[in-house]
Amino acid sequence: MTTSPKSRFTKEAGIRVPPRLILTDPWCFWGFGFGTGLSPWAPGTLGTLAAVPIYTLLQSLNTGAYIVVVVGLFLIGIIICQRCEERLRVSDHSGIVWDEIVGYLVTMTAMPFSWQGVTLGFVLFRLFDIIKPWPIRLADRAVHGGLGIMLDDILAGILAAIVLHWLAPVLVG
């Protein structure tokens, strides 16, 4: 195991987390996206999938209220991710997926509801989150802790939202 230069925690190297810890610790339960981050396969994708029902509940809000809720989820997410990271003593564990949940909600900001839009937003967000083009990659490497966990996904959500709003009139209708 290695320690990242700006973190006192170990970098994840196949560290398995006991499901009981995640399901009984409130910070880790939220951080692991209600347990979706426990998946050994594509936890980020499952975490993003957990965001879809949250989006369907929030999408009826007016844009201002939606943004206030998402900013609130981002701010509490910094604390959630930091506390979960501290409990696990692992820097940015792949099972911490609260950032994917909020990143997807950022992607869907001001998007009229349609299942085509939900799907396209999902694909675009995952694409930007996985590929991590500049400035996402820079944020991912330079910022650590709870803010670092959240920031790269917020940036991925912003870029995905720009592309989604650009493509939506053509692909979604």
Q: What is 12-25 written as a DSSP string?
A: PSS----HHHHHH-
Length of the chain counted residue by residue:
173
Q: What pLDDT score does 92 carry?
A: 87
Q: What pLDDT score does 104 carry?
A: 98
What the block records as the tokens of 20 is 């009981």
Name every residue whose Cβ is closer than 8 Å to that of residue 118 and which is 6 or more positions away in sequence.
52, 55, 56, 108
Q: What pLDDT score does 18 carry?
A: 83
Q: What pLDDT score does 12 carry?
A: 53
Q: What is the mean pLDDT of each run of 10 residues along the chain (173 residues)?
A: 46 69 94 94 96 97 98 98 94 94 98 95 98 92 95 98 94 67
